[in-house]
Amino acid sequence: MTPAELVRYACSIGMRAIAITDHDTLDGIEPAQNEVNDLKLDFEVVPGVEISADYDTGILHILGFFVRSDHSDLQKSLNFLRVERRSRISKILSKLLAQNVFIREEEVKKVAAGGVPGRPHLANLMFRKGYVKTIQEAFDRYLRKGACAYVPKVKLPAYKAIQLIIDASGIPVMAHPYSLNQDDPDRFEEVLLSLQNKGLKGIEAYYPKHSRDQTRMYVRLASKFDMVITGGTDYHGGNKPGVELGVFPDRPPLPYSLLEDMKKRLNHS
């Protein structure tokens, strides 16, 4: 979906607010907010971004909520990451070619529709062209870490990603913490405290892939260390089948009070 389509869809299913948190770009925020203004909707678009950060044993992504899109240092760093991402796509295409999977860079750009090209766009093309039966198969056979066409992603140090968001007047939050592969509460607490000391302000406790035990642990630790609690479905439309916008398994929709708490902390800071 385009940002404007996403806004209209969110309104149609009764949501009050969404955050636009694309990887490495802020370009989706303005068209989403413009759609709200043009249609005079009673709806909020929270400006945001998602940044991949270095981490040893798992995947660490940092969400930035309420960031200023005109912040020069943030824009420069995101531009650097976009350039590196495009270079990564070229390297992946070369590896796919060696596996007799023929995809041109122009095709990837077209599917990305002006956005930052990534592996989901490649997986989509591989599915469309019949190289795989599902998008997930594209990742499992070719694109996941350790697969034949995988190329490591350039990432920022965690402290740098967090500080960029803070400098841009945003709230840095750990995205989908299950991906750190730290299910031991004591070890996860150590990691969390280390990142809090670098400026981390919150945890995305509610996420479709989190178990009930994981969610309880993240909520408990966020409360213990006075951190923001957020939630997201990580909706990617057709690129992520089975994930619905605003829908969490085994729980009702997230309350608006989570967003109100973020705003209070933002105003206080």
Question: Helix, strand or coil for residue 24?
Answer: coil
Given CATH 2.30.29, say whether it is the number of domain 79-143.
no
- Which parts of the chain fold into alpha helices (H)? 3-12, 29-38, 72-98, 105-112, 119-128, 135-138, 158-167, 185-197, 212-224, 257-268
Q: How many CB atoms lie within 10 A of CB 70?
A: 9
Question: Helix, strand or coil for residue 250?
Answer: coil
First to last CA, the chain: 34
Residues of 50-68 as b/e, b for ≥16 C-beta within 10 angstroms?
bbbbebeeebbbbbbbbbe
**Cβ(196)–Cβ(222) below 8 Å:** no
- Please report the pLDDT score of residue 116 as a whole number: 77
**The pair of three-digit structure tokens given for residue 4, joined into one six-digit string:** 């404007």
Task: Assign domain 3-78+154-268 to its CATH architecture.
Answer: Alpha-Beta Barrel (3.20)
- 17-20 β-sheet, strand order: 17-20, 44-53, 60-65, 171-174, 202-206, 228-231
Kindly give the confidence (pLDDT) of every residue in the chain, 269 residues in length, as a single tens digit, with 9 standing for 90 and above. Answer: 899 999 999 999 999 999 999 999 999 999 999 999 999 999 999 999 999 999 887 899 999 999 999 999 999 999 999 899 889 999 999 999 999 999 999 999 898 877 778 899 999 999 999 999 999 999 999 999 899 999 988 999 999 999 999 999 999 999 999 999 988 899 999 999 999 999 999 999 999 999 999 999 999 999 999 999 999 999 988 778 889 999 998 889 999 999 999 999 887 76
98-106 long-range contacts, Cβ below 8 Å, gap at least 24?
Answer: 99/142, 99/148, 99/149, 101/126, 101/131, 101/142, 101/149, 103/129
Q: Which amino acid is at 231?
A: G
Residue 98 CB contacts under 8 Å (≥ 6 apart), including other chains:
none
**The pair of three-digit structure tokens given for residue 243, joined into one six-digit string:** 């994930």
- Please report the pLDDT score of residue 49 as a whole number: 97
Integer Cα distance of 100 and 131 in angstroms: 9
**pTM of this prediction exceeds 0.95:** no
Residue 170 CB contacts under 8 Å (≥ 6 apart), including other chains:
48, 49, 64, 65, 66, 67, 68
Q: Please state the domain extents for the chain.
A: 3-78+154-268, 79-143
